């Protein structure tokens, strides 16, 4: 009796949450397809309907990321067939996600995003899509070639309506591996790379500008002489000056008698 009640409860819970789950899945798909449509517009993909076709839109995204889209289909098929194997099925699903993450790295570079943006893609891919869809970045294929450009992971497919991602004239040289900048032995520049032209015969570089004259060293100023010793002040007299007597005055003469 208890098992029957438990089974009925689980079934009712599924019936209650299933509409909300389906609504969430549909909303996530619509928003993600809308963001992909905006990114495809930046990349020059013809036909906006391509962003709304399930599976096909992800294959286009991987192709824009310079990866062969057929290998993603192989990984998805392997995950469906071998998904019942506990460890192997999980590894195949993880490999498929990492494959799309490599494509996101290349798409981000073409939209002027650094590799650190992959952290956001790993946790919230839909937010990463929204930022790249509506920011002011412009699609630019003039970036160094992918590390897998010459192996089996490279995109060599040609699909109608999807522009070729190899820039005109070939990929630019990577400064870190260019000759003269620590290039490894046996390094070959990518196809289409043209070395800068050599100077014409008989070319002589212009003479270096004359060096600025160095002003002569002036002699250091002579040291200031100390002031001369002031003359000694005269000593006060030790002897007292002689006393001067007042001049003697004669007494007045007596008055003469009157006649």
**In degrees rounded to 5, what are phi and psi of residue 67?**
-120, 150
Distance, C-alpha 39 to centroid of its chain:
22
Whether residue 150 is predicted with pLDDT greater than 50 in this model: the reply is yes
In this prediction, what percent of the chain has a pLDDT beyond 70? Answer: 66
Residue with tokens 């992959």: 118
The alpha carbon dihedral of 7, 12, 17, 19 has a sign of positive
Q: Which residue has the tokens 């043209």?
A: 194
Rounded Cα distance between 27 and 24, Å, is 5
For residue 182, the model assigns a pLDDT of 47
Q: Is the pLDDT of residue 241 over 60?
A: no
Cα–Cα dist 40/163, whole Å: 10
Is 0.85 surpassed by the pTM of this model?
A: no
| Cα-to-chain-centroid distance, residue 77 | 38
Question: Which two tokens mark 243?
Answer: 């006393």
Whether residue 36 is predicted with pLDDT greater than 60 in this model: the reply is: yes
Round to whole Å and give the CA distance between 68 and 155: 4
- With a CB cutoff of 8 Å and minimum separation 6, the contacts of 113 are 132, 137
Q: pLDDT of 167-218, one tens digit each? A: 877 788 665 555 544 445 455 555 655 666 666 666 676 777 776 666 665 5
Question: Which of these ranges, 2-11, 85-94, 247-256, has the smallest mean pLDDT?
Answer: 247-256
List, in order, residues 6 or more apart from 95 with CB less than 8 Å away: 75
d(CA 71, CA 148): 13
Could you tell me which residues come within 8 angstroms of residue 180 by beta carbon, excluding any fewer than 6 positions away?
A: none
Q: Write the CB contacts of 82 (distance below 8 Å, at least 6 apart in sequence).
A: 88, 89, 92
């Amino acid at each position: 009796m208890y098992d029957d009640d438990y089974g009925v409860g689980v079934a009712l819970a599924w019936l209650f949450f299933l509409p909300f789950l389906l609504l969430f899945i549909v909303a996530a798909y619509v928003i993600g397809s809308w963001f992909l449509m905006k990114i495809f517009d930046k990349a020059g993909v013809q036909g906006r309907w391509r962003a709304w076709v399930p599976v096909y839109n992800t294959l286009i995204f991987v192709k824009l990321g310079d990866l062969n889209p057929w290998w993603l289909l192989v990984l998805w098929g392997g995950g469906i067939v071998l998904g019942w194997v506990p460890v192997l099925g999980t590894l195949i699903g993880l490999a498929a996600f990492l494959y799309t993450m490599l494509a996101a790295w290349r798409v981000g570079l073409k939209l002027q995003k650094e590799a650190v943006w992959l952290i956001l893609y790993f946790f919230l891919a839909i937010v990463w899509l929204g930022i790249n869809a509506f920011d002011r970045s412009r699609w630019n294929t003039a970036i160094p070639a992918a590390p897998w450009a010459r192996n089996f992971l490279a995109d060599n497919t040609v699909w109608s309506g999807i522009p070729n991602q190899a820039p005109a004239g070939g990929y630019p040289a990577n400064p870190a591996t260019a000759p003269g900048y620590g290039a490894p032995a046996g390094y070959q520049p990518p196809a289409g790379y043209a070395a800068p032209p050599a100077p014409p015969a008989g070319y002589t570089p212009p003479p270096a500008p004359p060096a600025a004259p160095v002003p002569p060293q002036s002699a250091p100023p002579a040291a200031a002489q100390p002031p001369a010793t002031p003359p000694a002040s005269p000593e006060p007299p030790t002897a007292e000056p002689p006393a001067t007597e007042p001049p003697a005055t004669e007494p007045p003469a007596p008055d003469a008698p009157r006649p």
